[in-house]
Every structure is written in C-alpha cells, then in structure tokens.
Homo-oligomer: A and B are copies of this chain.
Amino acid sequence: MEKLTVTPIGTVHNEATPDTRSEDFRRLVSEIVVDPKYADGLTGVEENELLTVVFYFDRNDGECRLQLHPRGDESRPITGVFNTRSQFRPSPVGITVVKLKERKGNRLIVEGLDALDGTPVIDIKPFVRTFDTGEEINDPGKDRARRPH
C-alpha cells in the first residue's frame, strides 16, 4: 500500500522537553498556533470544553517498533505497538483529548497536550461522545462537552 499524506495546520508551543514526565503533561498548558491560512476552520471551536488534537511525532526519525516494552520500561512485558500509545508507530500520529481554556484568534490555549514544543498539529476535532467514548448518544445536546458560558 502506498503512503498517504496529511497537512500540518499549526504548531504546538509549550515548555515540555524530552525529560518532562508523563504525569506532568496532564497539567501542562500549551498554545496551538494555527496557520492563518486555516484559521477560518476554527469558527465555533470555542464552544467546546474538550478538543481532540491530532499531532505528528516529528522527532522519531521514521523509527517504527512493531513490538516494544511499554514506555521503554523493561519490567513490563513486550507487547504490540497497536496495544500501546508509543510514538514509534507505522503512522507516527498522536491523539490527545485536551481541555480548551481559551481561544485567541488563531491561537488555542489548551491543557493536557502531551506533545513537545514545535510539534506539528495535523487536525483538531470537537470531542464528541458518540465517536470518542464508544457510547451511543442520541441526544445531540449531550454529545459534546461544551464550555460553560
């Protein structure tokens, strides 16, 4: 099968480093700066309390490990990459649901994004329970996590 392409729409800015501990990412505040070319796509995004951010692991040098110790911890048994959230995957794409704190024009201030400073963002989606929790929500009013007014 051939390669497919995705488009960077913005960049993560934060103070994370490769040494930031995974538990500290949950409270880390990041700014996603969306390319002005795509800023019209942000209309209405401020309604959401939660956003699904899709980003590209660009520090991998193309490395893919089909089987690995989760988090590189050798005390944990080797498992398949599709049973982990490792960055060393055939498609180096990370997905994290974050809290939207504020939108300032083409910049989104979010909490809980576990991506390093400078990481390309390839997509932003509203968190919708029907798609994101495996549950079926028939009431559209309850399908989203909305920000308090």
Contacts and interface: CB of A to CB of B under 8 A. Distances in A.
Instruction: Give the number of copies in the complex.
Output: 2
Contacts of A133: 97, 132-133
A15 to B, nearest CB: 19
B82 A41 contact: yes
A54 B131 contact: no
A44 B80 contact: yes
Interface string A41-52: 111110111101
Nearest to A10: B1
Candidate in A2, A35, A122 with the most chain B CB atoms within 10 angstroms: A122
B8 A6 contact: no
Contacts of A52: 95
Interface residues of A, number: 65
Interface in A77-125: 78-85, 89-93, 95-99, 112, 114, 120, 122-125
A9 B2 CA distance: 10
Contacts of A130: 26
Interface string A113-148: 010000010111111101111101010000001000
A92 to B, nearest CB: 8
